[in-house]
Amino acid sequence: MHRTLGRRAFLGAATAGALINASRPSLAQTRWVMASPYPDGNFHTRNIRAFVEDVERGTGGRLSIQLHNNATLLPLPQIKRGVQQGQVQLGEVLLSAYGNEDPFFEVDSVPFLAHTWEGTAALDAATQPYIRARLERQGLTLLYMVPWPSQAFYTRTEVRSIEDLRGTRFRSYNNLTVRMAELMGAQPTTVQVAEIAQAFATNVINAMFTSAQTGVDTSAWDYARVFTDVGGMRARNAIFVNTRALNGLSEADRNAVREAAARATTRGLELARAAEGEMVGRLRTQGMTIATPSDQLMAQLREIGARQTQEWAQRAGPEGVQMLERYRAAMPQ
């Protein structure tokens, strides 16, 4: 109870401070608060800390940003609304977690639509205009997006085919992983990153599909034995700012934020690509079996991906079909 009251008091103070700073930008240093759901060692968090330092340096200290990561201030499902309402000025989210709001927020998590780094880049270019426009209508300005590494199954026994996953309690974190679990014959169970280890320990879940980075973040070797990397997709984290707060800065400081965001985009991609191999190495060092997926498993997963792509296009309508055509045209033949 005391923790809840403390959080509410902090958010109230943060909101009041933001309004004062927005109305009197020339009278005092502007202080922003940022919420993120990921732990310190995660490459996304390291990239954000570098972004924060870059912003503070680029504005000559006129803008400071206080980062609250690891869901210590707001859990993932509440971050976007928190930024929209001005409770916090900046937020980082797994964009596909908000797919129930708009299909374009979850397209990067459609299995096997963009499962290579080349596909990830092409899909990012094809979708950014749509995503920016949607966020702008909600009072948010997209600063940058960074992909996760490839996705893998974490299980206690080897997975050779979809049949090995039938009946498992399968961790889900967005609409598409719920549907993926259903198509595999598994039981989808929503679990946030901070709760994964406990969920495995209490048998709430006994299988999941996520990156090697998340496995390291949650000490997967304590609850799973086998890591089977299938690529799948590289979902993106989106970092956005309350548009009113951004517009309250001077033009020079707004430019400094945008320039820092551009550098964070490049740096984040480099960190993501590096993490893909480094984190698998960490899992291996901790004793996990790094399995090569069978041809049968990959064929079955691609069938599921093709079905989910069709289902996504139906939900997204003409704009979605247009975007998919643009994406496919950009892919090497």
Cβ atoms < 10 Å from Cβ of 318: 8
Q: What is the pLDDT at residue 332?
A: 78
Whether residue 191 sits in one domain with residue 57:
no
Residue 272 lies in a domain: no
Residue 275 lies in a domain: no
- Which pTM value belongs to this model? 0.86
Distances (CA, A) of 144 to 91, 178, 196, 286: 11, 27, 27, 33
Whether residue 97 sits in one domain with residue 36:
yes
Q: What is the CATH number of the domain that holds 216?
A: 3.40.190.170
Residue 295 lies in a domain: yes
Whether residue 167 sits in one domain with residue 69:
no
Segment 67-92 mean pLDDT: 97
Host domain of residue 321: 151-233+280-330
Residue 216 lies in a domain: yes
pLDDT digit string, tens, across residues 161-192: 999 999 999 999 999 999 999 999 999 999 98
Whether residue 309 sits in one domain with residue 217:
yes
Q: How far apart are the first and last CA of the chain?
A: 58
Cβ atoms < 10 Å from Cβ of 333: 4
Residue percentage of the chain with pLDDT more than 90: 89
Which residues on neighbouring strands pair with residue 152, listed in sequence order?
210, 229
Segment 2-7 mean pLDDT: 45
Whether residue 167 sits in one domain with residue 40:
no
String of DSSP letters for 33-68? EEE--S-TTSHHHHHHHHHHHHHHHHTTTSEEEEEE
Helix extents (H) in the chain: 2-23, 43-58, 76-84, 117-137, 175-184, 196-201, 212-217, 243-247, 251-285, 295-330
